[in-house]
Amino acid sequence: MLPFRRVAAVAVSRRATLLPAALGLSVRRLGYNPDNRAPADTKPPVAAEVWTAEKATTPSTPTLPPYDAGAVLSHPLYTPAAKPNTGIGALHAPLKWPEYDQSVPSSESSGLPSPPNWHDAGFDVAATAPIGDYPHVRPQFAILRDPYKYWDQQGRREYGEVLYDHDQYTEVWSIGPEVHWWQPAKHSLQLLAMIFAMGAVVHWWDPAEHRWFAEKDYPYDGLRIELGNDPENADDTYTAAAVYKI
């Protein structure tokens, strides 16, 4: 019976609370005013908020210093780039200075009606000059040098010879100097002439007129019967041997 009594008491208390509201009576007449509630408790700020509020200053627009491209070079922490050590020093044996040997230095001196084979610009332009202290070797094409006067006849250079700094463009395996247009045209004409001559020989040459031996002749009508043809039929020469009549 105890649970029933507790439920009945709760129901009566709720009905006593809701009944004045249902009859239009104000709750304030019962002595309760919701406007007089105590304000809610405010949470104290955490340590990060207190520190931020103390350190925060009035924000201002930052001013950038004028741009100076050379300012980094004057910085005390700047370390100048090391100069490339590409020099070879004094020419001691077996190092040798290359001899300038060009059979056809340029198209102007050779007189050929073609564009210049190459142009020696020298080292007046810093962008095309060698890097560092490497010696200034005059460029020349190895293919134009005399191969029989050098220690390396294939590479056309002496033993210990100082190389041009862009030797891959001037060595014997490089593209080499520019040639006249007649040179590739001449080789093409020679190839076409050889192909035409071979075609003419195949087309007009008759091997039968230039045999070195006589044809073999077989008796008995080319051994017609001996090779299995019909003896009664003279036209049966299907398996007969060749007979050459002069």
Per-residue pLDDT at 122: 58
CA 240 to chain centre: 71
| pLDDT confidence bin for 2, thresholds 50/70/90 | very low
Centre a 10 Å sphere on the Cβ of residue 170 and count the other Cβ atoms it contains.
Answer: 20
Centre a 10 Å sphere on the Cβ of residue 167 and count the other Cβ atoms it contains.
Answer: 15
User: The pTM is what?
Assistant: 0.41
Q: Tokens 């001899």 belong to which residue?
A: 99
Q: Kindly tell me if the per-residue pLDDT of 106 is higher than 70.
A: no
Q: Tokens 């520190």 belong to which residue?
A: 51
Type of residue numbered 196: F
Instruction: Name the E strands within 74-181.
Output: none
Q: How many residues does the chain have?
A: 246
Q: What average pLDDT does the segment 197-224 reach?
A: 83
Both structure tokens of 114: 């073609």
Please, what is the average pLDDT of the chain? 76
Residue 246 half-sphere exposure toward CB, CA atoms < 13 A: 4
pLDDT tens digits, one per residue of 172-210: 998 877 777 777 899 999 999 999 999 999 888 888 777
Higher pLDDT, 115 or 50: 50
Q: Kindly tell me if the per-residue pLDDT of 225 is higher than 80.
A: yes
Among 18-32, 53-67, 130-144, 187-201, the least confident range: 18-32
Report the alpha-carbon distance of residue 92 to residue 98 in Å, rounded.
14
Report the alpha-carbon distance of residue 195 to residue 199 in Å, rounded.
6
